[in-house]
Amino acid sequence: MTEFFNFDFPPFNLLTDAERQKFSDALDIGYFQEGEVLIEPGDPVQSLFILIKGIVHKTTGGETDNVYGAEDAFGVAALIEGENASRFTVEEEALIYLLPAATFRDLMRQNEEFNSFFSKSISAKLSHHPQQQAAPTATSLLAQKVGKVVHPAPRSIPATAPISQAARIMRDHATMSVLVTGDDGAVIGLITSSRLRDCALIEGRPVDTPVGEVCLKTLIGVEADDPVSEAMIQMVKHKISRVVVREQGAITGVMDVTDLLGFLSNQSYLLLLQVERARDSEELQEVASRLNDLVGSLVESGTRIALIARLVSEINQRLFAKLFQFLAPAGLAENACLVVMGSEGRGEQILRTDQDNALIVADGYDLEEARRFAVAFSAALESFGFPPCPGGMMVSNPDWCVSMHDFRQKLGQWVHHPSETDMISLAAFVDALATAGNPELLKQAKAHLHDILGDHDGFLAIFAKAVEAFDVPIGMFHQLKLDRGEHRGALDLKKGGIFPIVHGARAMALKHGISATHTPARIAGLADLGIIERRFADDLVDAFEFMLGLKVRASFNSDGSFREATTFVPVTTLHKLEKDLLKDSLGLAKEFQGIVSHHFNLGRF
């Protein structure tokens, strides 16, 4: 029967043909009755156990701490560490594959990937997730390093050379830009074909004008190790046609839009470009209507969820800013700040969900005019497919379109006399990100919040208490707690897995002055301060992104077409490795929930 062993799933799919043959030759099958003890504490473990059917309990110190079912493997830790402190008992008659310890250790020595899979790090397991390995189309393009795409040895010219020489270099070498160097050979600027055109046809400069007098001195750049998507985002964000590429502080190349388009015939770049070139709100609406299709195609092709979130966030930010530009009356941009909050502010709103935004208006500006704009802005977003916020947390609500003075008063109310609704409002505002208008107004509002918080540990603990609002759906035996009602067989990952990580990171970041709004950045900031261990932080970020990816994927059909936005993930659709990763991820969320509870001493409430 051992010839029927399933090598399709990790980690066994990592074995070579020769290693699979060795595995199969050594494999045996055992039948065990209910109540039989497979391994006693202190006994040497002779085999890797892989359950075909049945249930096995693991108990340590008299407490059951894990339950194994079909396709689960156990005994790994004891084989690797050489000691065992647990008892493994058959609770339901079991049929089990038995791989001799010597064979298992040989395979671990021979196959590095097989070895690394058994690391306790969720990152090692995620690297073998089929979604990470699927269809390289989008992943290989968007995640490819810039340094591998740009041409090496870019053309350069001394700052003292005439612009006519720069034109000849561009003609002879079919390039649209040339680096400009100073006396010491270091790059001091960039001369482009469009800049030469302006010099000759608009400014009427003579052909012997030194390049150094007219070149571009402020250079927007990316690192050679950055993904191509970063170059794309920087070009659109700064409305430029090229970026310089740096490596170890030195400029080593130039990537322009023609290089990018030649390499990246990608829908996301075209949408960003379409936003920048839009002439009215109708053209922006066309971009918004294609966002879910973009997400679906990226999900289907296996693109990492972190990259999808970054791209969608950038498109949304540019879209909101452009709509603001179209609708704002004269003077509003200098006297108001449009902020997005919640998941949009964190850069984690991948699908078009509720509008969560506010308008902070400078004292003295016509508030009624600002509110007329806000109503038009919300209506436009609704027509774009961004539904109104059920709780009214949106600019068209006068409570969220207020003067700076009134907003400061509101912050004071939230901190000193908070209601449950106030806590929700504050959580959303802590995630706020300026997207159009005058960003200084948001900076002032956040500075005021930090001033009134001071060392208000009592309030911060009350704020953090929401981390315990939902139980993480994993039992003490590592089993998943599935919904038994309308969503039978599914998990609400937003409440049970994602929210404890998001809010825990938010509360701890607020306490320790971490200004980042992106959840992974907040977690990294906590690790930088030594508040949580670096390895745990890395695993927590991986767990967060894995669960976010499952949640997004649940909103699409298998062909990548959009079904409906949902927070429920049907567990029956997950394969074995995904279920294991989900259990690991929820375990990390529960552990972080405990860390936050201890950090704020929530047990006293």
Residue 236 CB partners (closer than 8 Å, separation 6+):
269, 272, 273, 275, 276, 314, 318
Q: Under DSSP, is residue 352 helix (H, G, I), strand (E, B) or coil?
A: coil
CATH architecture of 2-118: Sandwich (2.60)
Band (pLDDT 50/70/90 cuts) for residue 413 is very high
Residue 553 half-sphere exposure toward CB, CA atoms < 13 A: 21
Work out the average pLDDT over 547-552.
Answer: 92
CA separation for the pair 421, 398 (Å, rounded):
16
Helices vs strands, H then E, count in the chain: 28, 18
Query: Residue 117, Cα to own-chain centre: how many angstroms?
Result: 23
Residue pLDDT, tens place only, 123-161: 666 665 555 544 444 444 566 778 766 765 678 999 999
Residue pLDDT, tens place only, 326-369: 999 999 999 999 999 999 999 998 888 788 999 999 999 999 99
Give residue limits of the domains in the chain.
2-118, 142-263, 328-438, 467-604
Q: Average pLDDT, whole number, for the chain?
A: 87
Query: Residue 19, Cα to own-chain centre: how many angstroms?
Result: 36
Q: Give residue 85's pLDDT.
A: 86
Among residues 300, 307, 349, 301, the alpha carbon closest in space to that of 556 is found at 300
Residue pLDDT, tens place only, 194-240: 899 999 889 999 999 999 999 999 899 999 888 887 887 888 778 78
CA separation for the pair 338, 398 (Å, rounded):
14
CA separation for the pair 553, 573 (Å, rounded):
11
Q: pTM for the full model? A: 0.68
CA separation for the pair 443, 449 (Å, rounded):
10
Cis peptide before 154 (omega within 30 of 0): no
CA separation for the pair 587, 580 (Å, rounded):
11
Q: For the domain covering 467-604, report its CATH number.
A: 1.20.120
CA separation for the pair 54, 93 (Å, rounded):
5
Longest Cα–Cα distance of the chain, Å, equals 95
CATH superfamily of 142-263: CBS-domain (3.10.580.10)
